[in-house]
Amino acid sequence: MSNTQARLPRPVESERIPLKARKVSFSWEDTPLHWVPGDPFTTHTINVLHLLLPAGERWFVHVYKQVLPYIRDERLREDVIGFIGQEAMHSQAHDEVLPHLKDQGLDPTPYTAQVDWLFEKLLGDRTLPPGRPRRWWLMERVALIAAIEHYTAFLGDWVLNARELDRRGADPTMLDLLRWHGAEEVEHRSVAFDLFLHVDGSYARRVRTWAVAFSALVFLWQRGARFFMENDPTLIDGRATFMDFHRRGRRGLLPSTGAMLRSIPRYLGHAYHPSQEGSTEQAVAYLAASPAALAAEKSQEEAA
């Protein structure tokens, strides 16, 4: 293999899954506040997803609708349209958990207002002249999404395999939400990166936007976990520290610090391709058995 070939992104799976949005719905009335029993820290660290994803995934959809005219490959266009459908559904499903948290005394509004500002204003459409500046900002956001999707696929793969959550008696409805979403993240894990390669693919941009995405995710996640722990009405002195996170990672209740650190050089490697991570087969198998995905399929069949 020549040096140039060794440096090219290498997809490892040739089969392609047509992406479809599954119109799932969940009922939250039986889900307890601490849905990982006796473990508010793990519960709330994972709950941060419900704070970030509604606005974050709406933003993915918003940006991708703008990039559609730049796609000159029919297959990729179909993948991006499938991706948009799935992310819109993810955003809605996580949004629907928020009223349930509020009913249990955890009003997420002070935090979600900031997240909405971040995605809608800071990362939104700026008043830029048409031409290069507008295209630069669009490409920057496409690259940011590719970097974020490295982590959504990482988390999706993690939650599909997080048997410790089952052993601890985690709420089955919340686990199904997380695993349905995680499985679709694994299923569509190559789309954002393929799109980035198609419209730009600059390595400097990949590194720069990874640094921004990673720092923002760490910052927002620790703040979100702290927000929930401090505002949890059942905790007198709720705290969230890095050691809490590290210990849960060692027990398999959260992703381990080591696995997270090891994922960094993989994304920055020249030969990286998201298909090298996770298992499409496992994701498809979960989606074929997920109670919410099965119910969605049944109601779509009945409506047809």
Site string for Fe ion, 31-60 (x = CB under 5 A): ------------------------------
Q: Report DSSP state, residue 275.
A: G
- The CB-of-9 to Fe ion minimum distance in angstroms stands at 18
Cβ nearer to Fe ion, comparing 155 with 229: 155
8 Å CB contact between 170 and 35: yes
Secondary structure, 3-state, 47-71: HHHHHHHHHHHHHHHHHHHHHHHHC
Closest contact distance (angstroms) between CB of 165 and Fe ion is: 19
Nearest distance from C-beta of residue 247 to Fe ion, angstroms: 28
Contact between 22 and Fe ion per CB under 5 A: no
Distance in Å, CB of 51 to Fe ion, minimum? 14
Looking at residue 105, the DSSP 8-state letter turns out to be T
Residue nearer to Fe ion on the CB measure, 41 or 214:
214
**Identity of the residue, 87 or 176, whose beta carbon is nearer to Fe ion in the bound complex:** 87
Least Cβ distance, residue 1 to Fe ion (angstroms): 31
- Under the binding rule (CB under 5 A), the answer on residue 263 touching Fe ion is no
Q: How many CB atoms lie within 10 A of CB 1?
A: 7
Is the Cβ of residue 90 or residue 179 nearer to Fe ion in the bound state?
90
Residue 273 contacts Fe ion per CB under 5 A? no
Q: How far is the CB of 17 from Fe ion (least distance, A)?
A: 14
Please identify the residue of the shown chain whose CB is closest to the bound Fe ion. Answer: 90
Do 50 and 94 meet the contact criterion of CB atoms below 8 Å apart? yes
Q: Residue 190 interacts with Fe ion (CB under 5 A)?
A: no
Residue 179 touching Fe ion (CB under 5 A): no
Contacts of 121 by beta carbon, 8 Å cutoff, 6+ apart = none
**What is the per-residue binding string for Fe ion in 70-109, x denoting contact by CB under 5 A?**
-----------------x--x-------------------
Instruction: For the beta carbon of residue 263, count every other beta carbon within 10 angstroms.
Output: 18
- Tokens at 38, concatenated: 């006796």
90 vs 226, beta carbon nearer Fe ion: 90
Query: C-beta of 195: minimal distance to Fe ion in Å?
Result: 12
Question: What is the CB neighbour count within 10 angstroms for residue 233?
Answer: 9
The DSSP output letter for 201 is -
Site for Fe ion in 149-178 (CB under 5 A): 152
CB atoms within 10 A of CB 143: 27
Nearest CA to 258 out of 144, 169, 135, 154 is that of: 154
**C-alpha–C-alpha distance, residues 159 and 254, integer Å:** 9
